[in-house]
Structure 1
Amino acid sequence: MRTLEEVQATLEIAKLKEEDLQKTVQCLSLGDNVSSDDYCLIELDDTLCHHIEAGQSLVIRGDTDEHAVLCSGDKTYDLKIAHTSNLLLFLPGCQTPEHLTNSQQSTHVLHAEIWGFCNSYWEVRKHRPRLKKLLKVLMENPYEGPALAGQQENTENTYTMDDLLETIQASEEEIKKHLQTIHACQINGCWRVLDSDYEMKLLGHVTQLVDSESWSFNKVPLQTSLEELGPLEPRLVSPSLQRHLQIRMNNCFSFPCREMIEHCLNCYGTHYIENGEVFYTLDEAKVCRATALMLLKNAVKFNLGEFQEVWQQSVPEGMSTRLDQLRSAALVDRTSRPETICLLRVEDLPEDTLERFNHLFTLREKWTEEDIIPYIEDLCGEKQTTGALLTKYARSSMQNGTKVFNSRRPIAT
């Protein structure tokens, strides 16, 4: 253990002036079990430090084949190992000058024991959540409606929120938000997405009821809707009653439970309260978009003019279809004759930025800015723009007076 006199003698040999240095001298010694494998360092910004100091937790998520991410309650961060040429020492209980009182600021020696060392640390950067896997795992067993009488519902490959937190590389808040986006709901404690045909059947029941009752799409009463549709379950009633109900409800052949009707209204509408009663305003854009996706899902390409005509005929009377309702869900080719439209959903594209661009340029060699932006804007990080992404991953040129973008590198087809 060095004394103050030994320290001063060392300074004199090194030709250093004591007044140029901090008054507190740290003398370091190696502990009995010093190791570089027992500890990892992580660099946290003020936000994450305050998060930890407030008693909250940070969780590292990722399977063995995934790059690990760090999640707080509402944000996701990328973890990257950064190496440093300076050896980093772990000194529990080490006191620096700012930790000392004024009375302790006089020149004296403090002794600290080294518990470990490291020449790398984890660097944390805000990152968009990796949510594509969420829909993938929920689609392992989509909900197709109540089980037939006498049959047991298939509950294999179903996930609770705890299961999703163990599986998905995103914070809990981000997962919950995306569950709403993909129209998932909780059934018997597990999160499920609805089979697309079943979901459209639910929506059809609602819109047919609105039509049969001559309601406004801006004022759909929840309670009446539940009374008319909710309690009815055709698999549990007699064939004669089913036939009666089919006539009464304009030949609807399937009736969902109350929870599913309310879930459908929440997915395709916005609720409000008037005179103590709950009403819903159906969202025209969402209803039209869902109808278009149903029409497009089984076609490779659709004649644009014919599609628009069929689409308008398929939506409830009083609603108007527009191509902007299909942003990031369908792609129009105006260079072909006749013009065509095909299904291209952003959620089906790769999550990695480079892979996304490569895939897009495989589908189409040159893109207009108007066409490509809906398929890349979700890739933007904090303070990043689609223009910056295009500059980095694409090359621009003029074609017939229109700016187009193509790949910066050859794309294998």
Structure 2
Amino acid sequence: MIQNLDEKYNIDKIASIIGINSNDIVPHVQTLKYNSDDSIKLIELDANLMRAIQDGQNLVIRGEYEDSLILCTDNKTFELKEAETTNSLLIISNGLANEELLTNPPLENNLKIEHLTHNYIEPCLIKPNFLKLKESLEPTAYRGPTYEIELIDFFKYSMKDLKNFIQASDQEILKALYELNATIINGFYRIIENTYFNQIVNHILSLIEENSWSYKNVYLNETLYTLEELFPREVVEFVFKSMMKKLLTTNPSNIINSNDDVYELDEIKICRFFAEDILKNTIKFDFKDFLNIWKLSVPKGIKTHMTYLEGLAIVLIENNKKIIKFLPEASLPQNTKERLNSLFKIKEKWSLTELKMYFKGFLENISDNENPSKSDDNSILGTLLNKFARKIIMPNTGDDSNDKVYYCSKY
């Protein structure tokens, strides 16, 4: 038995004990000394995190003291959970790998075990919950200059403030702010109150009609100049760009003012805008009546399509009558199981296509954790449904010989 590892080693004796031919041993000695530092934590890096580090992105932990542990890159959010392994994980400083041992002259190398553990931190890509963001900004929703005096004592948030407690990456926060119709006013992010936002949209549409502009040629600067007497210029610009698409190429013969920035009404956003305006204050609406009102409400030249309502409304059958119900995706729970339970309470059975409209955000995150070449949205959602729902196969009585597949509550 070796009494002192810091003194001369009897290599032949050690080799004999462990059954190794001493001629095959590289003439190097690496001594391990245990001096574990409990402040060190190991984290498993998936492809997303590895890529973020290689790209030089910042990794930050966000949230308040009572929140769960969340790690953010520039554009993704991960929940951190502790995992266990049956193996012993060692962190050793100044160790030499096989290649280095073969090329270096004989030496004795004293190594320190910096950390020994059976636990590590496992990151899981998640979709951030922006309920706290919405609740923080709603009390100071912008309703116009007249009402600002009422909000003088309310705390308002800059981007720096939001990053201190919103558990999401910078890009995801900016996207969520945009979807909440929030923009910077006097240095702080403010949600544009829904009625005020709608007023500006309607004024823009009236201006298009009054000037006989095509919905494919709408002029930014002229719109700002005309409406700035009624609304703050920066708010009009935000609403304008929210409902428009910038034209990358233009037909000179169709342009009235070549010095202005030309935009096109975003057909999908405009159609969703009017559909929401019709449905939001009703529990349910007769489907045929809705289609007629919707078609008449949109600007001239815009065509409505039911595909534009994905994730905004759902068509149901009640008493053999077709109705439409306002059901925005943002109103549903963030948890997969809870979201499915909510949907099954509204409608007993759903097709895969119908459910996919309400799981787009979930699927994007799950796809990032998988190999995109080996999985698609349908297969990923199918895996979730096999876990949290029950499949029903119904024979087709029509001309199509394929059976119909639906999903319902598991219990």
TM-score by length of 1: 0.82
Q: 1:347 to 1:148 in 2, by over 3 A?
A: closer
Q: How does 1:52-67 map to 2 (within 5 A)?
A: 52=53, 56-64=57-65, 66-67=67-68
- Over 3 Å counting, the alpha-carbon distance change for 1:21 and 1:377 in structure 2 is farther
* Whole-Å separation in 1 of the counterparts to 2:55 and 2:96: 23
In structure 1, what is the equivalent of residue 70 of structure 2?
69
List alignment gaps of at least 5 residues for structure 1. 233-254
User: Relative to structure 2, which stretch is displaced further, 116-125 or 3-12?
Assistant: 3-12
1:309 equivalent among 284, 292, 305 = 292
Mapping 1:111-122, distance limit 5 Å? 111-122=110-121
Contact 1:271 1:280 in 2 (8 A): yes
Q: Which runs of 5+ in 2 are unaligned?
A: 251-257, 397-403
Please, what is the CA RMSD of the aligned residues?
2.7
Give 3-state SS (helix, strand or coil) of 1:367's partner.
Answer: coil
Query: Cα 1:194–1:119, aligned 2, differ >3 Å: closer, same or farther?
Result: same
Q: Distance in 2 between matches of 1:211 and 1:50?
A: 49
Quick check: 1:343 aligned with 2:318? no
For the structure 1 residues 357 and 18, does the alpha-carbon distance in structure 2 shift closer, same or farther, using more than 3 Å as the test? farther
Note the alpha carbon deviations across 1:101-155, whole angstroms, 9 max, x for none.
8233x4x331112343222011234444444543343334322222358x36446
State the match for 2:142 in structure 1: 143
**In structure 1, which of residues 181, 185, 201 is the aligned counterpart of residue 183 of structure 2?**
185
Instruction: Give 3-state SS (helix, strand or coil) of 1:289's partner.
Output: helix
Moved more, 171-180 or 132-141: 132-141
CA contact (8 A) 1:132 1:347 kept: no
Pairs within 5 Å for 1:294-373: 294-373=277-356
Instruction: For residues 203-260 of structure 1, give each alpha carbon's deviation from its aligned partner in whole angstroms, at most 9, with x where no partner exists.
Output: 0010011111111111111121111111x1xxxxxxxxxxxxxxxxxxxxxx211111
Equivalent in the alignment of 1:165:
163
More deviation, 111-120/17-26: 17-26
Q: Deviations over 1:70-110 (max 9, x none)?
A: 21112223322221223333333333344568233x4x331
**1:407 maps to which residue?**
409
* CA distance in 1: counterparts of 2:158 and 2:314, whole angstroms: 35
Q: How does 1:90-101 map to 2 (within 5 A)?
A: 90-98=91-99
Distance in 1, matches of 2:395 and 2:87, equals: 57
For residues 31-90 of structure 1, what are the alpha-carbon distances to aligned partners after superposition, in whole Å with 9 as ceiling and x for unaligned? 3xx453x22111224664564466543112344554323211122233222212233333
The structure-2 alpha-carbon separation of the partners of 1:18 and 1:63, relative to structure 1 and needing over 3 Å to count, comes to farther
Distance 1:329 1:55, change over 3 A: closer
% of aligned pairs identical? 31
The CA distance in 2 between the partners of 1:171 and 1:98, in whole Å, is 40
Q: Which residue of 2 aligns with 1:210?
A: 208
Instruction: Write the distance in 1 (CA, Å) between the matches of 2:276 and 2:153.
Output: 27
TM-score (norm 2): 0.83
1:100 & 1:126 partners in 2: Cα distance? Answer: 39
Letter in 2 for 1:223: N
8 A Cα contact 2:28 2:101, kept in partner: no
What is the number of equivalent residue pairs in this alignment? Answer: 380
Distance in 2 (CA, whole Å) between partners of 1:368 and 1:211 is: 41
Determine the structure 1 residue equivalent to 2:9.
5
For residues 153 and 305 of structure 2, what CA distance do their matches in structure 1 show?
39
Counterpart of 1:244 in structure 2 is none
Q: Distance in 1 between matches of 2:20 and 2:237?
A: 77
CA gap of 1:42–1:258, structure 2 versus 1, over 3 A, is same
The answer to whether the 8 A contact 2:11-2:22 is kept is no
